[in-house]
């Protein structure tokens, strides 16, 4: 049976719908809301799940962090799309994109531990997943996702209760 939606690359016209899908999840503190400009800046990273009649059902982004490391971020489905396999399809699309980029590890910071486990992610027990030289390079990044990956104290108030997970490709 085919899925009742398609996955495609995001377009500028998608930003309002991306924000509307993320808003209730940000209100529940499941996702962190971003300024509108940040969604436009990250638009090439986003994939969209869309119904046949053009309604956005979900979104997700793949952010490259280093030569061998990327992050699945801003993965969200609309409330009407939950249980339709939208999240699954988006994660698989993002992982395929990571492989295309040559990335060998994908990170996520999530409350949905069981969901990501079903996709091959494991809880990061070893916090030293990058060598000290790369760690010092990553510290120069202004990206909050990199700070979350490095488990820096400055992001702790926004990430309390989240689980850091990683998958090797």
Whether the CA torsion 165, 167, 168, 169 is positive or negative: it is: negative
Q: 48, 117, 123, 114: which is closest to 86 by C-alpha?
A: 48
Contact 51, 71 (CB under 8 A): no
Q: Per residue in 19-58, pLDDT tens?
A: 999 999 999 988 888 899 999 999 999 999 999 999 999 9
Tokens (6 digits) for 6: 């398609």
The set of residues, in sequence order, having a beta carbon less than 8 Å from that of 91 and lying 6+ positions away, is 60, 72, 75, 116, 119
Place 127 in a pLDDT band, splitting at 50, 70 and 90: low
| Pairwise CA distance, residues 116 & 160, whole Å | 18
In the prediction, which pLDDT does 2 show? Answer: 63
Share of residues in the chain with pLDDT > 90 (%): 62
DSSP state at residue 167: E
In the predicted structure, residue 160 carries a pLDDT above the cut 90:
no
Contact 58, 86 (CB under 8 A): yes
Domain ranges of the chain: 6-168
| Pairwise CA distance, residues 154 & 77, whole Å | 28
Pick the CATH number of 6-168 from 2.40.400.10, 3.40.50.2000, 3.20.20.140, 3.40.630.30: 3.40.630.30
Average pLDDT, the chain: 86
In the prediction, which pLDDT does 5 show? Answer: 96
């Amino acid at each position: 049976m085919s899925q009742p939606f398609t996955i495609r690359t995001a377009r500028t016209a998608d930003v309002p719908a991306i924000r509307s899908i993320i808003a209730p999840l940000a209100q529940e503190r499941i996702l962190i809301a971003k300024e509108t400009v940040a969604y436009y800046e990250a638009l090439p990273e986003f994939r969209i799940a869309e119904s046949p009649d053009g309604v956005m059902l979900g979104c997700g982004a793949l952010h490259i962090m280093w030569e061998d490391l990327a992050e699945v971020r801003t993965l969200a489905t609309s409330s009407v799309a939950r249980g339709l396999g939208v999240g699954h399809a988006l994660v698989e699309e993002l992982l395929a994109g990571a492989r295309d980029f040559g990335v060998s590890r994908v990170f996520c910071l999530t409350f949905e531990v069981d969901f990501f486990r079903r996709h091959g992610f494991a809880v990061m027990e070893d916090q030293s997943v990058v060598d000290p030289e790369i760690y010092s390079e990553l510290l120069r990044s202004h990206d909050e996702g990199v700070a979350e990956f490095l488990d820096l104290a400055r992001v702790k108030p926004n990430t309390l209760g989240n689980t850091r997970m990683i998958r090797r490709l």
